[in-house]
Structure 1
Amino acid sequence: MHDASVPGTPIEVQGLRKTFGDVTAVEDLSFAVQPGRVTGFLGPNGSGKTTTLRILLGLVQATSGAATIGGRAYRDIPDPLRTVGAALEAASFHPGRTARSHLRIQALANGIDRGRVQTVLDMVGMTEYADRRVGGYSMGMRQRLGLAGALLGDPGVLVLDEPVNGLDPEGIRWIRSFLRALAEQGRTVVVSSHMLGEVQQSVDDVVIIAQGRLVRAGTIASLEAENPPQVLVDAADRDALARSLTAAGLAFVAGPDGFRVATADPGLVGHVTFAAGVELRTLQRLSTGLEDTFLALTGTGAAA
């Protein structure tokens, strides 16, 4: 990964609407994406994410509203591949071609120096496999090749649709660090996903939609602030446990699995209960519950 500064460009979606016959895929959707940040574009399957991205990339015509990159529609950008790089989930590659030949054809078709092919192969860690036929690639290798194609024109904007789909944990970790490095170069990075948990550790901002409408836009930190960490504690003598927590000024709520205490520090809870002579059978820090919040916002009762 080179460390050159690449200027990004803001993305703006304003009053976007798209219908397919009687079906409304996107309805009055507005949001903005800023350079130098990784933005998660999130929503359940069928929420309108891919339709929105296809409108942004000039692949689908909006019914009304606009989706622009640096104030321009994609069709009005003079040299789009040098401005916007995209890797859509449905991207396909000729199984008989090698990664290198695939990228060389892309470069030739877009007037890009062929030397850039080796550069992007190095960037995505594909050099070792560049001369193998794509038909034998794993899902992870195909994802890397898609990223290489998106980066071929050295664009300031990256739009990636479900880039972690089907990847193993190692591949997901690699993509997280890769996206972070791209944003740190100043690029505008948009990553769509149907699961918050998959992108939570790599995004700065989130745009969450459901049924084609915006339900939340803001920083991941603001979403996390709505879900402060808790400590789960339980004891055989719950009355004594409650008295010890109350005496220490700790707020808590009772549940079937014990008390959820409003603190991030299990050590504090352990100290308080030990000092009160309460024998514990459960003491653990709980996750922030962002996935539950995402499911509640999007109206899904289980993982999408």
Structure 2
Amino acid sequence: MAAGPTLSVEGLAKSFGSVRAVDGLTFTIRSGAVTGFLGPNGAGKTTTLRMLLGLTRPTAGRALVGDRPYVEHERPARVVGAALEASSFHPGRTGLGHLEVFAPQVGVARQRCRELIEFVGLGAAADRRVGGYSMGMRQRLALATALLGDPPAIVLDEPANGLDPEGIVWLRRLLRRFADEGRTVLVSSHVLAEVQHTVDDVVIIAQGRLVHASSLEDLAHLAAPETYVESPDLGGVSRLCEERGWPARPADRGLLVGTATAAEVGAAAYRAGIELHQLASRGGDLEDVFLRLTGGTR
């Protein structure tokens, strides 16, 4: 398969009355990689994706699929396969029937529908009404719909919602396979831990604004370790941290020491003859970085 198109937004903004849902976003999603589009609930992720797919008109800026807006492609669904909601199904249709409704619009044969219903693991439920599907089954059906046109770019909004652990592993492998084929894969989530084992790149927004965009590896560099220390001699611990160049601040009944591991603090305190009552690693993981960037708390 040819490399997927880049997905880009330039100065993208959207206001609903006095509410600024998206505020001047600019970023690019590359092909051949899985990109996590991250942010807390209400950050503006779905609104941004809707503008990218031509479902919502921007107040300012533009969103491009390759070199043009999504709606200007002759057969958009053959370029970008998208699943923004796993609830927009007619409850009286069967899973297979749902795909067959969309097949003519996408320009594919009915046989493609049967292939996809099997591909996403719904073969045994193909003739069941969607109204009886679980949330996880609806997620799989939404993905099958997005894949009807075998698109080189795939956009999924919270695709792991409702999936059981086995389904999440299946989804991760599938997204990696798509990226390895050269497709452009964009996956939104409000939980970094949900996608950090899958993505290559991250774009993080909060309150409609871009707060970080990089490779996952570069994001990990921001995850500096911290160590919580309790001691009857906190003054001595503070002086030790100052000598070592470790930033320290009060926390609970002790100190939170930055940029140092528990092993480093413990060894230094032992050599200095400082008695410690508690020593524990804190922070230093990607979820803490994500919460710090977005203003959230654990």
Q: TM-score range by the shorter chain?
A: 0.7 to 0.9
More displaced 10-residue stretch of structure 1: 133-142 or 222-231: 222-231
After TM superposition, the score normalised by the length of structure 2 is 0.83
- Relative to structure 1, the CA distance from residue 283 to residue 133 in structure 2 (aligned partners, 3 Å threshold; closer, same or farther) is farther
Instruction: Report the Cα distance in structure 1 between the residues aligned to 2:56 and 2:238, rounded to whole angstroms.
Output: 59
Q: Please tell me whether residue 59 in structure 1 is matched to residue 61 in structure 2.
A: no
Alpha-carbon offset, residue 51 of structure 1? 1.0
Amino acid at match of 2:296: G
- Relative to structure 1, the CA distance from residue 234 to residue 185 in structure 2 (aligned partners, 3 Å threshold; closer, same or farther) is farther
Q: Please tell me whether residue 301 in structure 1 is matched to residue 292 in structure 2.
A: no
**Does the residue aligned with 2:202 lie in a helix, a strand or coil?**
strand
Number of residue pairs matched? 296
| Correspondence list, 1:159-178, <5 A | 159-178=155-174
| Correspondence list, 1:61-140, <5 A | 61-89=57-85, 91-140=87-136
More displaced 10-residue stretch of structure 1: 146-155 or 230-239: 230-239
Amino acid at match of 1:184: D
Deviations 1:149-194 (A, max 9, x none): 0011000111111112233333323222221121111111111112
| Correspondence list, 1:234-273, <5 A | none
The question of whether the paired residues in 2 share the 8 Å contact of 1:14 and 1:65 is answered with yes
Alpha-carbon offset, residue 108 of structure 1? 2.4
Unaligned runs of 5+ in 2: none
Instruction: Report the Cα distance in structure 1 between the residues aligned to 2:4 and 2:92, rounded to whole angstroms.
Output: 35
Instruction: Report the Cα distance in structure 2 between the residues aligned to 1:49 and 1:244, rounded to whole angstroms.
Output: 45
Deviations 1:249-303 (A, max 9, x none): 8969586578768577x889999999999999877765633222222222x3336
**Does the residue aligned with 1:95 lie in a helix, a strand or coil?**
coil
Identity of aligned residues (%): 51
**Does the residue aligned with 2:74 lie in a helix, a strand or coil?**
coil
Instruction: Report the Cα distance in structure 1 between the residues aligned to 2:234 and 2:197, rounded to whole angstroms.
Output: 36
After TM superposition, the score normalised by the length of structure 1 is 0.82
- Relative to structure 1, the CA distance from residue 44 to residue 267 in structure 2 (aligned partners, 3 Å threshold; closer, same or farther) is closer
**Does the residue aligned with 2:166 lie in a helix, a strand or coil?**
helix
Unaligned runs of 5+ in 1: none
The question of whether the paired residues in 2 share the 8 Å contact of 1:233 and 1:261 is answered with no
The question of whether the paired residues in 2 share the 8 Å contact of 1:245 and 1:273 is answered with no
**Equivalent position to 2:218, from 216, 222, 229:** 222
Instruction: Report the Cα distance in structure 2 between the residues aligned to 1:275 and 1:22, rounded to whole angstroms.
Output: 60
Cα RMSD, aligned residues only: 3.1
| Correspondence list, 1:199-218, <5 A | 199-218=195-214
**Does the residue aligned with 1:227 lie in a helix, a strand or coil?**
coil
The question of whether the paired residues in 1 share the 8 Å contact of 2:20 and 2:208 is answered with yes
